[in-house]
Amino acid sequence: MTGDPVDARPVYQGIRTGGRSARVRNAVLAATVEELRTSGYADLSIPRIAKAADVAVTTIYRRWPHKSQLLAEVVSTVVAAAVVEPDLGSIEEDLMELARGVTAALTEPTVLMLLRSVLSLTNDEFHDLTTRHWRERHAVAERIVQRAVQRGDIPTQPEPRRVVELVTSGIWLRAFVTHDALDEGALKGLVEDALIIARHRPVA
C-alpha cells in the first residue's frame, strides 16, 4: 500500500481491568490472546489459559462453555478497543475516523492473528461469531447515522449499514484483495462515495 500513510495509532494495548468480576474476565481474555498467539485456535488449551489467568478451569467453562465462545468474546473486546465509535460533530469526520480505526486495526498483529483464528472455526462457529460481530458493528453504524440525521448532516434516514459498509468494505477489499493504497486520500474517497448514498440516494 502506497501514498501518504494514515496516522499511526496504538491499537491493541492489552485487556483493561476493572472490578473483581471484570478483572477475572479480562485476565482470561488476555491469557486467551497469548494462548492463541503461541498455540493457535486448533491447539488452544483451556487449562493453560486458566493457569495463566490464575483462575479455575471451571470458572472459564461456566462463562464460556465452548472455546469458540471464548474466541468470540476476545474478538469482540479487541475490535471494540481497536475501532472506537467516533462522535466528532459531523458525519464526514465520524466516517473518516472510523475508516482510520478500521485501517489501523487491519494492519495490527494481534487483530490479524485473531482473524486467522476465526478462519479455523467450523461453519456453525464461524456463523455464530460473525453474526455477533456484525450485530455490534451495525449498532455502531446506526448510531453514527442517527446522530448525523439529528444534526442535519444528511437530509433523511438512509440505511445505516449501507452507508458504513461502503467505507469498511472498501477498506477490507484494499487490505486483503487488491492491496491498493489505504492512505488518507483513499479513505477520503471511500467516505465521499458513502456520503453520496447518505445525502442523495437514501434507502427507504
Spatial neighbors of 91 by CB under 8 A, at least 6 apart, are 144, 145, 147, 148, 151, 153, 154, 195, 198
pTM: 0.77
Question: 176 lies in which domain range?
Answer: 1-204
Counting the structural domains of the chain, the total is 1
CA distance 63 to 61: 5
The dihedral built from the CA positions of residue 89, 93, 95 and 98, taken in this order, carries a sign that is: negative
Q: How many CA atoms lie within 13 A of 27 on its CB side?
A: 18
pLDDT of residue 8: 42
Q: Are 191 and 154 in contact (CB under 8 A)?
A: no
- How would you class 93 by CB atoms within 10 Å of its CB: exposed for 0-12, middle for 13-18, buried for 19 or more? middle
- Cell 500513510 belongs to 5
Find the angle CA(177)-CA(110)-CA(167) to the nearest 5 degrees: 40
Residue 88 dihedral angles phi and psi, to the nearest 5°: -105, 5
Single out the residue of 9, 135, 121, 3 nearest to residue 66, CA to CA. 121
Angle formed at CA 95 by CA 102 and CA 135, multiple of 5 degrees: 60
pLDDT in tens, the chain (204 residues): 445 554 444 444 555 545 668 889 999 999 999 999 999 999 999 999 999 999 999 999 999 999 999 999 999 898 888 888 999 999 999 999 999 999 999 988 999 999 989 988 989 999 888 888 888 888 998 899 889 989 988 877 668 888 888 999 999 999 999 999 899 999 999 999 999 888 875 444
Distances (CA, A) of 173 to 7, 61, 77, 165, 182: 20, 37, 23, 11, 10
Residue 122's domain is classified under what CATH number? 1.10.357.10
User: Are the C-beta atoms of 154 and 145 separated by less than 8 Å?
Assistant: yes
Cell of 204: 427507504
